[in-house]
Structure 1
Amino acid sequence: MEKEKSLPEKDAVELEITENQPAELINQVEGEMDEIKHSLPDEKQVEPDTQSESSTDHDLINEAFLPTETESVEATLKDENIDDPASDLDQMDVMVPITSVSSSEGHKIEKKSVEKIKTEKYVPVDDDDNLSDISYDDVDIDSYSREQIVEALAEIVNETDISLIKKKITSLKVAFLRENKIAREKKREEFIAAGGNIEEYVTDLDNIEEKFKALFDIYKQNKAKFNKSQEELKLQNLELKKQILEELKVLNNSEETLKKTYDEFKILQERWKEIGIVPQAEINNLWQSYHFLVEMFFDKVKINKELRDLDLRKNLELKVELCEKTEELLIEPSITKSFKELQNFHEQWKKIGPVPMDVKDDIWERFKQATDKINERRREFYGDLHEEQTKNLEAKLALCEQAEELLETESNTLKEWQEQTDKVNKLLEEWKSIGPAPKKVNDEVWKRFKSLLNGFFEIKKEFYSKLKEQQLNNYNKKLDLCLQAESLRDSDDWKKTTDDLINLQKEWKTLGPVPKKYSDKVWKRFRAACDDFFNKKAKYYSNIHIHEEANLNQKIELIQKIKNYSFGADKKQNLVVFKDFQREWMQIGHVPIKEKEKLQVEFRKAINAHLEHLKINQTEINTINYKSKIENLSDSPATRNMIYKERSFLSNKISKMKEDINLWENNVGFLANSKNANLLKAEFEKKIESAKNDLALMESKLKVLNSADIG
């Protein structure tokens, strides 16, 4: 449960003490502010006059060097627009209106009358500059020749502080233009006096003119750099003064103590005085703003005691209103809402400010008592709430334990997973129906429960992922069974194919489910192949009696043919003949069941009679029969699988039989000569002989399989 928050009485008292300013301090500051105000002079902006040089100086000089008519020097100077310090505006009047601005105390300061500010242009001179010993007023530049003017210009042109040389540069320029025009007129008159045609007269720049132009270009470059640096400095100063104006605005709106704001004001005033020049266009607006903010600060300080008493009474009214609103919270049904409102009222109380000293304690006690009652009501409410939340915590911990049990339960089938999922969802629904636990553990217990649910569904997801993979694997296996069944559907080897298809069906049953979207389709495909074969088989056996008598006669004729056959001396050829007889016998269809066994005995008897006569052993015959059987197999996946298994079986059987024969032969060597031992020895030898015959047959069969085209 959260800790009760209330405003301690001592805090309120301390707040009101800090907001009440002693009368002595107010009177002292007001007296000092009057002295400051009356001592403030009008703002005068000093700025070097570096912009009066015409931007077309170079063109004007070039023009002065060109051939001219008889215009006067005075006219030339006028047309050249030569800057003359005497022609600068010594002063300018700017009318700036001052709008009314509201002070931080909420009282509007009346609109000031429009003031006229006089600004002066001023060119500062550095007394320490190395050109300070030159007194321009003592030098008679008007008496200089062009050469002397160029020499004088060369002496000062590299000075980078333009304010030190500007006046003399102007005088030298005027003097040079005048003397140069006289020199040009003289050359022109001499040309005419010498009989030259005035229309053919061309005046080129002489050496002196070239030097003057070059020197003046240096001056212009230095002046441009100087002007640029001055403009940058003025912009920096402008920003600094604007910053002070912003700080004055903040200060005027400050709720700090009068002593503190007064000290800050004096610091700002000193900083303002230390900042240099600003751009000409900003001078008056900047000063008006500064002047206005200073006046505004004076007005703030001059709030009289009656206005202060009015504020105290107004604060009292507001605090009485807060007391009434706080007392109304005692009947608010919502504990949470009443407590939030109480916090809001306490914040408002802190912001209202002091009240008259004679009622300060009483009004605070009333507010405090209402606060204490609301806090007590809240404590009782949260006491009951804590008990309920503790029960909720116990219930949620029990759900966590149940979830842990479900997480530990292993599920291996879809049905089991569905049952477990239903249980988990039931736990989640039950969790939602339980209210919150205590706040300090509520998130923790939820994280525990949520982690268990996430763990369960992660395991379920993994199961379904593996199940999906397994179902796809089953699907591929069933597709393979479909292919095998389809390869047998047209077979007429009824017995063998029936066995093969039955084996395929048994294998089908061992496979698990496939993806639902493929289940019906793959099953219908497999069943169609099986049904196709068995329908043909049924149809065949329904008509089998028609062919049995003909097959009986064919087998009787084959037996007679075997009896009458005369074999040659070529054993290999004879084995081929026996193989052909065997194949022909197998190709003949069914005979009546009552004659089947009799015919089989007659067939084996006829074959064996020839074998004995030709001295062909049974192993060779069995191998021939085995080979015939393998060759009659159809090439199909089922056949290839069967041959693979047969190879594996024979290989293992041969290895085992060789071990048994070696063991038996070793045992025979240990038997002593006695009647019983001889009997036992004879039995072992008979057993070994039979095993060797079987071994030879199996090795022959393995050779047949290895050489077969199937598998």
Structure 2
Amino acid sequence: MEVNETNRPLTEDQTNVSETLVPTVEETTDNVKYEPKQTKEEVILRLKEINKNACEADKQEIDLLKQTFYKLHKAEQEANKKAFIESGGDAGSFTPSPDPMEAEMKSVLSEIKEKRNSMIAALEKEKEENLQKKMDILEKMKNLTDLSEDAGKNYNEFKALQQEWNEIKLIPANKINEIWKTYQLYTEKFYDMLKLNNEFREYDFKKNLELKTRICEAAEKLAEEPDVISAFHQLQKLHQEFREIGPVAKEMRENIWARFKAASTAVNKRHQQHFEDLKEQEQNNLDQKTVICEIAEAMEYDKFTTFTDWEDKTQEILALQAKWKTIGYAPQKMNLKIFERFRAACDEFFKRKAEFFKNVKENMSLNLEKKKELCEKAEALKDSTNWKETADILTKLQKEWKTIGPVQKKYSDAVWKRFIGACDYFFEQKAKATSSQRSEELENLSKKEAVLKQIEELEKTEVYDETVGDKIKSLISEWNSIGFVPFKDKDRLYKEFRTLVDKIFDKANLSAAEKKLNTYKSGLSKETNLYKEREKLVRIYERIKNEIKTYENNLGFLSSSSKKGNSLVNEISRKIEKLKNDLELTQKKIEAIDETMKE
């Protein structure tokens, strides 16, 4: 004999336990995970897969796929509009192009909806029919309970009705509790009326106890099941089996139910704790992903001015992306949003990087031309022997080179070697020339300092006669014959020399012309461009001669009897005399140059 113990009305404790075994809608849907779709094609492909078994489709997944499609669709339209505007179009006149994939997506959704509606309608019809069947069974059970004298005789018929009842599954949800209570009422009433012998009842109770004990053991093992979700669903099946097994002996009923309830509670607690832990982990994942987004969004693009800057930051972005992949899901309502936020930050970085390299590439050709111009300038100066001036120019060119941006790598080495090669060649030649020149200048410095000492001794002479004049002229001539000295000593030496010579000239009471001539001679040296200086003096000499001739001719036209004429004649005579003195001094200067050139 099989008696369904759970057909009896549930106690208050039993009702509470039963409710904890079924998760709420929020608990079951908030934690469903779907693989994110990146393209419209992927969305449509998944919808087509769902359409193959539309009756078992998850409406939440369908809604999410539809939402994802329109986000991608909107992003595509915005990109098309941006491209239209950038190509010169007016934003107000932009018309989105029809999307053939949208029509395909709607068609698949329509098919799914139609199938699901048909399924729901059929299911509702089936539930109503099942309800009527169960109502008919309840009516028959009621009739059997009224025949108390024939309860034993009607036992098999009652068992058949129970079997038929259990085979009928779905009925309208709002009728479940009511009809179930009625069923349990008639079942309990029928069994209470049974006047079976003790052996038969004990056998039936013992058999049911064994079955329920096995179910309890199975439920207790579920507490160790690694997959808590699977354990929870297995427990639901065990509850269904527990309900379908008949009663046990009255004294065992509470104990066996308490054991099964305790095992169920353990599984349910693990199930609930799993989702609480999952929510906590998802929130932690969201926090980590938010930090990654903030790092990616905080890039200071205006400070990235070199290839190295961008390369370093690219490695940072790639590291953030790698870290992102190691972090699990965020809460479902935020998972897609936080991903789109991070992707937007990454897209912005690589967009800015592409713009930088595009601008750099455009400037590289211009930079190459600028560097080629500097190469040409350096090459034009590399053979120059005007050491100081050329060195200054090349130094400026090198500074200018540093201000020019990079060129393409395939030209970089070649153009640099060309430029630095010209510069190095000049400075190598300069080093060779100035090293020997430096030695010569130091030797000349010693010679001139020796001459200065002789002039100092001569300046101390108390009595000046013709020998002093000859000596000073000789020392001046020797001074002029000495070549270059180091540039830093040049002015100091000449100042000392000029001061001493002037003192000697003053003490010797030499004429102004002689002083000028001696001064001029002291300034002559191999440093002077003697040919150019001689040509200038020759021109001066010829000019003075012409002026003298002109003044002498003018004297013949003046009347000596006129007072005014006498005054003018005297003035012209003085000018002629002065010019003759200048002519003589110029002639002596020319002779001094000739003597210097012979040395």
- TM-score band w.r.t. shorter chain: 0.3 to 0.5
TM, length-normalised to structure 1: 0.29
TM, length-normalised to structure 2: 0.34
Bigger share in helix: 2
